[in-house]
Amino acid sequence: MNFLHERDLGDIILSLASVQAAGGGNYYIQNNQTALKMLRPLIECQPYIKKCGHKLLYNVDKSFVDFRKNGHPYGVPLAELHARWIKQHTDLNKQWLFCPKDKKFKDRVIVNKTNRYANPLFPWKEIVDKISESILFVGHDSEYELFCKRFGKVERLIVKDYLELAIAINSSECFIGNQSSANCVAEGLKHRTIQEVCLWTPDCIYKRDNATFCYDGKIDTVLSEKRIQVSDKTPERYIDKSHTPSGGWRLTINGKTLNSYSIDVLVIQAQSAGMEKPKSEIEKMVVAETLPFVALDPITERLLVSIQKVKELIG
């Protein structure tokens, strides 16, 4: 059977799950010489692939070229979109990438962070501070320079193709990265992974026991025999008592919700209604009742909504 693709490197890697499920065959890549050069060694290493080459002019049995025309529903993994496009039942829990191991990477942590699909809450700095000596960064020059500038100096691994990348990941203690083509390799290998989940496009979530999906900045794991614990970084709603919030302050007294521009006014009303609490306690009640109605800035609001959606997606 002949398969065809032309999209990004990550898309091609993810499509291989469906190729394996379909029984394998020949894999062709058109209009993307970079992908062909970088991926051919890895693709031809797969036991279900006979050969990988340029575009096949005739007799294409399964084409992934237009797989995105089916749309991109929120939370549906890209590998699943490929499977749906060619109408191939695919068990995405099964490993679909295979390669040798190299013992020189045994105690290393392979890291990749691209500029796309970032999550501002991911604890990169805390991870680098703990295990910088174990990290090997893979990626472009600009990605490596920016990573070191933002999070701290780490060693770099330069690979000539994705077979070398796969061997490094497959041999390592763990892979850490965002939703990149390197992450797709780790997924295909079903290797231990800590993923920087993109809050806007979480389309690389494949649940398994040895994968951690960090979306809110929280992490609790052991790497290089060191415990890394980072608390949830989800921004909290905040209210300044010195400024009247939009809609005013709120307090429910005897089943009736009162509004006022002043906390002091509500305190007096509460005490007049027989509430036997000190002023400080009543103020806390007013703040707590008002807080859910306080409008956040658009960026924070979107962040909180996205965190909740991803949390529900992961379960």
- With a cut of 90, say whether residue 201 has pLDDT above it: yes
Looking at every residue in the chain, the average pLDDT score rounds to 94
- The answer to whether 141 and 164 have CB atoms below 8 angstroms apart is no
- The answer to whether 185 and 173 have CB atoms below 8 angstroms apart is no
Q: What is the predicted pLDDT for the residue at 112?
A: 98
- With a cut of 90, say whether residue 46 has pLDDT above it: yes
Mean pLDDT of 260-288: 92
Q: Where are the domains of the chain?
A: 2-85, 103-230, 249-293
pLDDT tens, position by position, 53-85 = 987 667 899 999 999 998 999 999 999 999 999
Pairing of strands 219-223, 226-230: antiparallel
- The answer to whether 274 and 294 have CB atoms below 8 angstroms apart is no
Q: What is the predicted pLDDT for the residue at 227?
A: 96
Q: What is the predicted pLDDT for the residue at 57?
A: 65
Residue range 103-230 in CATH 3.40.50: yes
Angle between helical axes of 162-171 and 181-189 (0-180°, round to 10): 50
Share of the chain above pLDDT 70, in %: 99
pLDDT band at 246 (very low <50, low <70, confident <90, very high): confident
Residue 48 in tokens: 């279900």
Q: C-alpha distances in angstroms, 259 versus 121, 262, 293?
A: 36, 9, 12
- With a cut of 80, say whether residue 240 has pLDDT above it: no
DSSP at 152:
-
Per DSSP, what are the bridge partners of residue 257?
252
Share of the chain above pLDDT 90, in %: 85
- With a cut of 80, say whether residue 239 has pLDDT above it: no
Report the predicted TM-score, pTM, of the whole model to 2 decimal places.
0.84
pLDDT tens, position by position, 147-182 = 999 999 999 999 999 999 999 999 999 999 999 999
Please give the full DSSP string across 128-196, using - where no structure is assigned. HHHHGGGEEE-S-HHHHHHHHHHH---EE---SSHHHHHHHHHHSSEEEEESSHHHHHHHHHT--EEEE
**Contacts with 66 (C-beta within 8 Å, 6 or more apart), sequence order:** 85
Q: What is the predicted pLDDT for the residue at 56?
A: 67
- With a cut of 80, say whether residue 237 has pLDDT above it: no
Mean pLDDT of 258-262: 91
Mean pLDDT of 189-216: 97
- With a cut of 90, say whether residue 49 has pLDDT above it: yes
- With a cut of 80, say whether residue 45 has pLDDT above it: yes
DSSP at 134:
G
- The answer to whether 212 and 219 have CB atoms below 8 angstroms apart is yes
